[in-house]
Every structure is written in C-alpha cells, then in structure tokens.
Chains A and B, each alone.
Chain A
Amino acid sequence: MIFSSYKFLFGFLPIVYVIFLVLNKSKMEVIAKYWLVMASFYFYAQGSLSFFPYFAGSVGFNFLIGYLIGKQNGENSGTIKKILLTMGLAENIILLGYFKYTNFLITNYNFLTKAQIPLKTIMLPIGISFFTFQLIAYLIDSYRGLTKDYSFLNYLLFITFFPQLIVGPIVHHSDVVPQFEDKEQSIFNIENLILGICMFSLGCSKKILLADPLTAFAQPYFKDPSGGFWLGWLSALAYTISYYFDLSGYGDMAIGLGLLFNIKLPQNFNSPYKARDFQEYWRRWHITLSNFLSKYIFRSIFKKGDGSRKYYFAIMVTFLVSGIWHGAGWSFIIWGLVNGVFVCISSYMNRKNVRLPDALAWFLTFVGVVGTRIIFVSGSISNLMKVSKELLKPAEITFAINGLWSFFMDNYYNMLLLIIGMGIVFFAKNSNELMKDFKPKLKYAFAAGVLLGLSIIQMGEVTKFLYFQF
C-alpha cells in the first residue's frame, strides 16, 4: 500500500485516524498507541506479507537486545554488552544481507569461479534498508547508554510508525521517542492537522503530477538506450528531476501524515539541486541517511585530530557503504565511490579556500548530480556503458542539431513538465520553507485541495491496452 493510492487515502488513513482520535478523546491514550502500532503492522503486512514474521521478530529481538544491554552494570558488563551488541548487529546485517545481497554475491561468485549456482527467488521486503538502519542506530545507542528509559510501546511506535516505515525518513530514536512519550501527542491539534494536510497534498502532487510522468518518460531510454542524443539527455535530466520529486514528495507525505498524529518527522530534503558543491549537496539530499552514515560510519573511522588522509578515507568508506545500501549491484558501488570522490574534491577545495564563482560552482555540481544519476539509474555496468556511449556519440551530436525542432514537437509535453519541475527545484521555496511560519489562510486550503484533487484524478492505475493489428 502506498500513500498515493485510493486504498490508503480513502480506506486505511481515515479509519486509523478516526479511531486514534476517538481513543484519545476517550482518555485511552495507551490503547490509542497500540492501535497505531497494530495499524502500522497491518500497513507493513499489506506490502510484504511473507516477510512480516521476520519483521515482527526482528523488531522484538532488537528490543530485547537493547533492553539486555541497558541492564548490564555488573563486573563483566562491558564484555557482555559487546557480545549482545555484536549479536544484535549481526542479526540485522544478516537479515538485510540475505534479502538484499544474496543474488548479487552468487552472481559475482559464479563469475569469478565459473560456478553455476542458481540464483534464489528472493523478494526484497519493503522498507528493509530503512528500518534496519533505525534498528542499528537504536542498538548502538543502547550500547552507549542513550536509550535506557524507552518503554516497549514507544520503541514499537518508533520502528513501526507507518508514515516513515517503508521509504523513510530514517528516523533516529531521539527524534521521535520523546514525542511519543509527550502527553501532548494524544491531544487533538487542529493546527497540526491543517499543516499535515498541506504537507501531504504538496508531497502527493510532487509525486503524482511531476515525478511519475517524468519517470515514465525517462525509464524506457535507460532500459534500451536508443533514440538519439536529445532523447538521451532529456531522459537523464528528467530522471534527475523526477528522483527528487519522487523521494521528497514521499518525504513530504510522511511528514504530513506524522503531523496528523502530532509527530514531527525530520526533514529529508532541503533544495539539494541548489547546492554549489557536493558536500553541500549531501547535506541537503536525503538528510536523514546522510546523518546516519555520518554518525555511525564516518565518525567511527575519523576522529577529531586525525589527519586529512584518514578524513578522505572515511569519506570514501562512507560513500561506499551508501552505494551498497542503495542497491545490490556494481553500478551502485561505482555510484557511491564517484559521489565519494566528488565530496572529497569539494571538501579539499573548501579546506583550501578555493572558491569558484557561484553560478559556475552550481552548474558543475548539477552536472555532477546528473552524471551520478545516470550511473544510478543505468542498473548495470554493461547498460551504463551502453548509455554513456549513446549519450556521447559525436555523430549523434551533429545529427542532433538538425533534428532539434522535430524532437521538440514530439516531446513538448514532457519538456513542459521538465521546465516546470526545474523551475521549482532551482527557484522555488521547498516544502519546509513554505511551511515555516505557516498561517491557516483560506488560499492555502484552496491550493491544498486543488493539488490533492489533481493528484487524485491521476491516481488510478494506468495500463495501456494492446491492439491486435487486424
């Protein structure tokens, strides 16, 4: 079940929300929280029923480990805590590794040894990459003594809370558990409801009206890279823009839904395409992932006072992990490493106070972003080679100039969408800036209604029908 579907909007959400409000109104706050947990489990099971027992088991197991770690204060507590932490981390990594990377490992093993081990039929459970990181953070912080007083119920809500369960943001326990503990959370707050509606409508329209059609336009080129120079570059640009609207749209919907339940989820995107270098870009793009990687990977390698070599090494390792996290394939690893190199370069320039003119710095950064997106969406190294060859064909470039007008006529609608999208990402305020100092003016109600209404009329499935050419 995704947020931008009729089933969610007209079925799941109203039922969960109304019952949550009624329970709280009836002073049954604890039951209301359990209701939210149950609803979240149901939400998860709708998307990944076969994995659900593992998910529920893993959530319980991690709490137990965290709880046991917190209880250690005896003579050998340090060693026991380390063993418990290792067990917890191993469980999370094995689960993630099995479901996400088994076939990747088999493919590489077969390639290297000429063996013919058949690939396994493994469906990737939804949200596993996201909640695994949340659980790892929880365990590490339990080890560091930062989670001692969390009740099982609030812990359950922290992991399972449906708005952030399957596509993030990657919520840190310290962001939300205190909110779940707060008595205010159970009190109906109409300001939060209004703000939540606005954020949800904005996010939904980003996804349905911009991201989905741009992705549908761009995808075919990267599956079969042909069609010429302009189509190739337009597809690359469209994919770059659609990725932002897709992820940030989903993030906005999650934040909006969180607000309905009086929970403020962290911001995940802060106009990343306005960045003037890659270091800044990664502070603005998928912020909660960057924070996690910075806190638990980068800082565990690089400590204050370490030299610059270790600093750059830590950056490269962090981005290698990021690449592996994003997908099981060599193209993702390359994508991570290229990002790492770009961040090292911008970090070096910042350290040395080398400052390019703003427009040039922004332009180079955006070109880098498009380039790394091409690596990301190509899916495999062989396809990446094909795409790169097509995009950089000199003959195509000469031919392209002649065919520009007919290309424009064939693709004007997608180009229009792209121009609107680029206008928004480069020049408009982002969702969080718009919602800052929000006042419930009626024009916003109208705008939110129009955006959600337009999204709803585009929401149903679309499958093209096939004609037999008789």
Chain B
Amino acid sequence: MGINKRWILTFVSVLIIFLMLLSSINYIVDPFGVFGDKFFKWDTYNIVNNQRIGKIDYLDKYHNKFDSYIIGGSKSGAMIPGKLEKYFEGSKFYSMLMYGGDFYDYELIAKYLIDNYEVKNLVLHMSVFEIKRYGRGEGIQNQPHAKVTGESLPKFYFKFFTLNLDYSREKVEAWLKEDKTLCSVIRSEDGVFEKTKIDKRLRENPEEFVVQEPSFHKKHYNIGNIGLYKNVEALKEIKEYCENHNVNFFAIAAPTHYLEMDAFHREKFTEYWREISQITDFWDFSGYNSISMDSRNFYDVSHYSNHVGELMMARMFDDNSIDVPEDFGIYVTKDNVEEVLGEKFKNDK
C-alpha cells in the first residue's frame, strides 16, 4: 500500500476513534436520557434538561403507574398530581409540565399519551400566555421527542450521539456536586417542580419575598398574539381526540398576576376567550381578582403558588373544607362567555 493510501487510512481511523469516543460518552452519560440513562439512572436531571423528551422517556418506562395526565406549561406546576387525585377518585396523575409550552406541544403530547398509554383523564392547563406563540421552541432544551412528532428516530438518536460534549460534562459535574438542588428542580416521580424551599420562603415572610422578587416591580410589555388561531385549532383537535378515545377532558385557565394581565392585548384576549368557549367549557381563574391582585400568591409574575393551586381545586370541586375567595374562578361556557368577559374587564370601560 502506498504512502498516500496509508495516510488516508490513518486519518480516517483516528477520526473514527474520535467519533466512537464522542458517541460512547454521549451514550454512557446520556445528558437527556434518550438512551435510557443506564449508568447514571438520573431521571430528574434528564427531565430538568428537557421536559418534552425526559418525561416521555420516563413514562415509557413507568406509564403503568399512571392513568391521568396534566398537560401545560411551567405555570401548571402548581397543579400537584397528589392533590388532584383527591378530586378524581381512583385516578393516578402525572404532570407533563414543560417550559414554554404552547398548544403545539400540548396537542402532540396529548395524542402520544392517548395513543400509547392508558388515559382516563386529561387535564389541560392553559396558561393564557400561549396566545403569544405557536410552534416548536428553539434549542435542544425545547426539542420534542421524535416519538411524539413522528420524525425520523435514527436522525433523532444521531443528534444525541453527536451532542457537544459540554452537555455530558455538565451532567457529570452536577453528579459530582454534593448539592443537587439546582438540577433537581423537577421531580421525576410526579413531573412537577420541587418547591419546598421557595414555599418555605414565601410562607415565612411573604412581604419580604414580594419585595425581593424583581418581576413584581417592573412593567411588563405587551404580550403578542401571533399564536391565537393556531392554538385554538389545536385545542379543538385535543378535545375531539379525547372524545373519540373516551378520555375525560378537563380544561383550566390559569390565574394571572395583575401585572401579567395588564400586558395582554384586551381585544385579542377577548377574542381568544370567545374562541375557546366555542370549543370547550373551562374553569377560568384568570383576570383581576383578590388572588391576582396580591403578589403574595405568586412566586413571580408568571407563576402562581401551590397554595393557589389548592384553592383552584377546591373551587372546581366544591371542597368546602378550604376557604376560597368568592371572586376567584368561574366556569365558562359559550353561553356565559360574554358576561364573564364583561366582568373581567369592567374597570377598563
């Protein structure tokens, strides 16, 4: 063999060794859990890294433990599955909360869950913020699982075999750290946020908490409405899919901090509510009420507290053991939507 051929062979061999090394590290460390995370067995980390992928991989292993699901964005983290089970007797809930979710994700996930697992109840938690967008989020942290989108699985796995090694390095570094709080903010076993620390801070000194949270002290600019109609269409799809598969569908609109509410475009919000009410009845906790006007009920402008989540459940299921403010929460139908909207924005007139 001539020197030139040996040269090429050497080059290619070295390159293949590096590629194998890269793939092996990505497979072993598995920073997103797509290969089953056989060595670290750290579902929590994988889910924090990407909820859309991590939770699907988790449920593929453990879906027999659940028969009901909450689908929503990060706000839905206050709908604690354990608490909800009290009102959906005999059901076992799992939260599919994901950062920055909109109806693009909700529809894909809902269909995947119904097609692949046993689903009795599906609680759709609408954050209202979805009105701002529709579609696939940017970056690997927001990428949906190929099993859910129906995209090519080899292409999907190739991407994770050839991930930048920084992801693996970060997981190993996190693994070696004694304090794993930061990378365990979502619990794998029920899918919601681990809020023990923040709840303690909020409970012990709510006034100081409010002073220290920066989002309560700045103006929030107009929230766009480019996703309005696509989101509504997707909602219709989800509802029909549930009905066709005998799944109990239950929709909730989240509480909104008054500063967030101020940022919504009034006319588009109104239109959005009318459209939704034509598709499904839903529990509406948004708008200006005694909960939304008090920052102590929120972790920040975008996220209401677990305590508020409990109040919502009590209102929805007539639980008299918990005191719920009269003005908090109303059941919206196509018949009363105008009345609800009129009440919601009465001070604008």
- Interface pick from A350-358, A414-422, A446-454: A446-454
Q: Which residue of A lies closest to B166 (CB)?
A: A462
Which A residues touch B21, using CB under 8 A? 453, 457
Counting chain B CB atoms within 10 Å of each CB, the highest count among A194, A441, A442, A460 belongs to: A460
Complex partner residue of A470 from B5, B163, B194, CB under 8 angstroms:
B194
Structural contact, A445 and B11, CB atoms closer than 8 A = yes
Does A469 have its Cβ within 8 Å of any Cβ on chain B? Answer: yes
Structural contact, A445 and B10, CB atoms closer than 8 A = yes
A422 CB to nearest chain B CB (Å): 24
What are the interface flags for A277-302 relative to B under an 8 Å C-beta threshold, 1 for contact and 0 otherwise?
00000000000000000000000000
Which B residues touch A450, using CB under 8 A? 14, 18
A42 to B47, CA, bound (A): 38
Does A465 have its Cβ within 8 Å of any Cβ on chain B? Answer: yes
What are the interface flags for A452-470 relative to B under an 8 Å C-beta threshold, 1 for contact and 0 otherwise?
1110111111110111111
Structural contact, B15 and A453, CB atoms closer than 8 A = yes
Which A residues touch B194, using CB under 8 A? 470
A468 to B182, CA, bound (A): 8
Does B176 have its Cβ within 8 Å of any Cβ on chain A? Answer: no
Structural contact, A470 and B299, CB atoms closer than 8 A = yes
Q: Which residue of A lies closest to B183 (CB)?
A: A467
A207 CB to nearest chain B CB (Å): 14
A130 to B74, CA, bound (A): 45
A91 to B182, CA, bound (A): 56
Q: Which residue of B lies closest to A198 (CB)?
A: B11
A353 CB to nearest chain B CB (Å): 49
Which B residues touch A442, using CB under 8 A? 3, 6-7, 10
A34 to B254, CA, bound (A): 59
Does A109 have its Cβ within 8 Å of any Cβ on chain B? Answer: no
Place the interface of chain B in its size category. Answer: 35 or more
Number of A residues, CB within 8 Å of B: 32
Structural contact, A457 and B14, CB atoms closer than 8 A = no
Structural contact, A452 and B15, CB atoms closer than 8 A = yes
Structural contact, B22 and A449, CB atoms closer than 8 A = no
A445 to B14, CA, bound (A): 8
B114 CB to nearest chain A CB (Å): 28
Structural contact, A462 and B164, CB atoms closer than 8 A = yes
Structural contact, B7 and A440, CB atoms closer than 8 A = yes
Q: Which residue of A lies closest to B164 (CB)?
A: A460
Given contacts A190-B4, A197-B11, A442-B6, contact A463 B182 (CB under 8 A): no
Structural contact, B164 and A467, CB atoms closer than 8 A = no
Which A residues touch B183, using CB under 8 A? 467
Does B172 have its Cβ within 8 Å of any Cβ on chain A? Answer: no
A272 to B13, CA, bound (A): 35
Structural contact, A458 and B14, CB atoms closer than 8 A = no
Does B148 have its Cβ within 8 Å of any Cβ on chain A? Answer: no
Given contacts A461-B140, A466-B99, contact A449 B197 (CB under 8 A): no
Which A residues touch B185, using CB under 8 A? 467-470
A68 CB to nearest chain B CB (Å): 47
A102 to B74, CA, bound (A): 41
Q: Which residue of B lies closest to A190 (CB)?
A: B4
| 27 A-B pairs whose Cβ atoms sit less than 8 Å apart in the complex | A197-B8, A440-B7, A441-B7, A442-B7, A442-B10, A444-B7, A449-B17, A449-B18, A453-B14, A456-B18, A456-B22, A457-B21, A457-B165, A458-B165, A460-B159, A460-B164, A462-B164, A463-B140, A465-B141, A466-B99, A467-B182, A467-B183, A468-B185, A469-B185, A470-B185, A470-B194, A470-B299
Structural contact, B48 and A459, CB atoms closer than 8 A = no
A214 to B311, CA, bound (A): 51
In A188-218, which residues have CB < 8 Å from any B CB? Answer: 190-191, 193-194, 197
Which A residues touch B66, using CB under 8 A? none
In B168-208, which residues have CB < 8 Å from any A CB? Answer: 182-183, 185, 193-195, 197-198
A262 CB to nearest chain B CB (Å): 15
Complex partner residue of A194 from B8, B141, B163, CB under 8 angstroms:
B8
Counting chain B CB atoms within 10 Å of each CB, the highest count among A193, A197, A457 belongs to: A457
Does B280 have its Cβ within 8 Å of any Cβ on chain A? Answer: no
Query: Nearest 7 CB-CB pairs, A to B?
Result: A449-B14, A453-B18, A460-B164, A445-B10, A463-B139, A445-B11, A457-B22
A371 to B173, CA, bound (A): 38
Does B49 have its Cβ within 8 Å of any Cβ on chain A? Answer: yes
Does A6 have its Cβ within 8 Å of any Cβ on chain B? Answer: yes
Which A residues touch B162, using CB under 8 A? 6, 456, 459-460
Which B residues touch A469, using CB under 8 A? 185, 198
A469 to B181, CA, bound (A): 9
Complex partner residue of B164 from A191, A449, A461, CB under 8 angstroms:
A461
Does B263 have its Cβ within 8 Å of any Cβ on chain A? Answer: no
Does B19 have its Cβ within 8 Å of any Cβ on chain A? Answer: yes
B170 CB to nearest chain A CB (Å): 9
